[in-house]
Structures are given as structure tokens and as C-alpha cells.
Structure 1
Amino acid sequence: MDKNRSDISGINIEILSDIKENEHFHPEIEVIFVISGKVCVSTKCNYYELRKKDIILFNSNDMHQIETIDNSTVCRILISYKVLSGAIQNGNYIFYCNSVLDKMNSYTLL
């Protein structure tokens, strides 16, 4: 896995190529933005093929698997659950962001 990394106070930003991650989960919220190519993502119940400019978010402790196809590149942002819950000041929250399923909303401003 090729990796460029930046870590800013509870927010970890990585540019990655050649990802093949087995099914896993973690306490951080994870955002995947496809910079180039195609990325296959699976969750407990769903499978998605993301392409250039697609974005998906995994909430804290969501089981998921990620694989890039043919030297694709993604930006992965990991946001500390502790940092985010301190900013929102609410212990229970779920985010929704999936440009593959939600074609009615524009994610270009993100």
C-alpha cells in the first residue's frame, strides 16, 4: 500500500493506492474519497463500486472492507470519535454520506 500521511489533532488524512484491507472496524469515523480509478467497498449488508469523485463515510465501529482496483488512488480521512464527540457535545450521532446511493444530493461542495 502506497501512503502519504498527515495527522492533525485527531484527524488523520492519507492519500493511498493499492489498498486491499480485510473486513475490519475501528472507533474512528472514516471518509473515503476516490481521487482516481475504481474502489470496491463492502459493509455488513452492501457492496458498492465507487469511481472518481465518489465519497462514502463509515461511522464509528461500522464493519467494512476496502479494495482499490488497477492502481486507483483514494483520500482517506480518519476522524477521532473522541475529538468529534467533544465538538458536537452529543454522545449519540450517525452520519450518512454515500454518493453512490444518494445521487439526488450534490457532494461536490465537500
Structure 2
Amino acid sequence: MKNDILKARNSAIIEGISYRVVFKTKGSTYKIYMVDEKIKCIKNVKMKHIRIDGTNFLKDEFYYRASGAPSKGGRIKLVSQNDTYDMTIQVATGRVMLTKVTGKKGDVYE
């Protein structure tokens, strides 16, 4: 998921268009859309071993502008069988960080 989100950010910068990321907690899926003259779904992923437990994004979505900046910063809570993670999208820069919040605490994956 993190790599897909980073790819959407980089694609927005390279192509000069917006990319929208939409999370669905029911079914633990996420979709990435290319937003140009038309809206086109370019990635549709159903998580198998990790559950999307919630986000703090309005309508569970955000988009990357052509500058690479996100429409807003926020968090996605991910839960596996043994661990819980927070994925953070930083406002202004669009940086994506994955932090383990249960298990061995303090692990940050960038």
C-alpha cells in the first residue's frame, strides 16, 4: 500500500495531474484514480492479511496535486493478526510514513 501511494504521488508530479486515493474499511480495499480529463481507476487492491481499520480523512480519501502535495494530511490505521500500524500522509510534502504502534514499539518505516 505504501509503495502504491508513493507511486501515485510521483506520478502526479511527473504527469502534472492529480491522483486520488480512496480507502474502504468495509472489505479492506483501496483504489487509486488518475484524475485528468476523465477519472480512471488505475489500481484496485483488496488487502488479504491486513485490515484497514479506519482513517481520519474526510470520506476516507485524499488526492495528490500535480505538485506532489496532498489535499490534506492524515492517517490510516492498519491491523494485521499480530500488529497495528499507523500510515501517515504528511501535509504539504506528501511524505508517507508507516509506524508500528503495537508489538515492538517505535519502528518507523519510510
User: With structure 1 as the length reference, what TM-score do the two structures score?
Assistant: 0.29
Determine which structure has the larger strand proportion and give its number: 1
User: With structure 2 as the length reference, what TM-score do the two structures score?
Assistant: 0.29
